[in-house]
Amino acid sequence: MNRKLKSVELFAGCGGMALGFERAGFHPLLLNDFDKAACNSLKANRPEWNVIQGDVSKIDFEQFQGKDVDLLSGGFPCQSFSYAGKQLGLEDTRGTLFYEYARALDIIQPKMFVAENVKGLITHDNGNTLKTIISVFEKMGYKVYSPKVLKAVNYNVPQKRERVFIVGVRSDLKDLIQWDYPTDTTKGDPLTIRDALFAGRLYDCDVPLSVGSTYNEKKKKVLDLVPPGGWWKDLPKDIQKEYMMKSFYSLGGKTGIARRFSWDEPSLTLLCSPAQKQTERCHPDETRPFTIREYARIQTFPDDWIFSGSITNQYKQIGNAVPPNLSEAIGKSIFYALKKHCFS
């Protein structure tokens, strides 16, 4: 277990997946992201990592040929693909960020790969997007396991976040490497916001002080009326209509509007902004959004993990990240699958 396995990660963000994989036993040869602030976060936390900020299409992946890379990882943004070629091959995805992930996979030829994305990828474009992705991976010589939606709350994360994972093994290794998705690691009841922010202390929140967004006076007056665990439906009818305007009459969704969390439940998915009307994430007791460090704690980042950039960008980095506890679980499952082959 002391030996590190080698990985390359694209679309690395502020390091949620990289941190979890590091704990699992991987050493990144390269991490890339276009966002400068996210890359500065990576560099601040792990100066020894090879972080390349910039356009992924400019990276020469041939430098990793013959380097016996064990894993390619990353969460490429979900985009529609063209079906003009009708072969569902790599050329049908040109111009998308998936194309760059696939290009890296084709050139580096790691033993395994893991890609993560939003749950909606399963049904995106009536399933055609996922069908294309799997077809491309298979044509590159990989056995692709059935994609699976993992619930973060099942992996020691106090949050109802769901992400789809796609994992594959190089075809020449499919009989040597036996892998399956990690079993649930949460013991007992799901972790709650209280578990996250109080960390075992009964009375005093131990989250480090930090900056955070605020509500304007109009929004604050409305959210003052919402009880812990409540939302817009707990408001008086006239305030509902005034606050929600056209949204009041629309169908479906709206579960994030005027949302105040409860101490004794897991958080809803933390998004890139905690204060917009559709994504409000109000503190259980105080009428304010969670601070940066509270956001990070709920995402299972350690308290000493540094986030660079503006407050807005820090929220974005944390909201976009894979929770380190979740990525550690899937990282360990891949590490142990590779271990027998790699250490033989």
Q: Which residues are identified as catalytic?
A: 78
| 154: CB partners within 8 A, 6+ apart | 184, 185, 186, 190
Q: Is 170 left (phi over 0), alpha (psi -120 to 50) or beta?
A: beta
Q: For residue 148, which phi and psi values (nearest 5 degrees)?
A: -140, 140
d(CA 25, CA 262): 35
Is there a contact between 326 and 178 (Cβ–Cβ < 8 Å)?
A: no
Is there a contact between 58 and 37 (Cβ–Cβ < 8 Å)?
A: no
Distance of CA 80 to the CA centre of its chain: 20
Is there a contact between 9 and 73 (Cβ–Cβ < 8 Å)?
A: yes
Instruction: Return the CA Rg of the chain.
Output: 21
Q: How many CA atoms lie within 13 A of 267 on its CB side?
A: 32
Please name every residue paired with 162 in a beta bridge, in sequence order, or none if there are none. 151
SS3 for 162-173 is EEEEEEEEEHHH
CA nearest to 166, candidates 189, 149, 191: 149
d(CA 29, CA 54): 16
DSSP H stretches of helix in 12-67: 16-24, 36-45
**How many CB atoms sit inside 10 A of residue 80's CB?**
12
d(CA 322, CA 22): 14
Is there a contact between 298 and 318 (Cβ–Cβ < 8 Å)?
A: no
Q: How many CA atoms lie within 13 A of 112 on its CB side?
A: 28
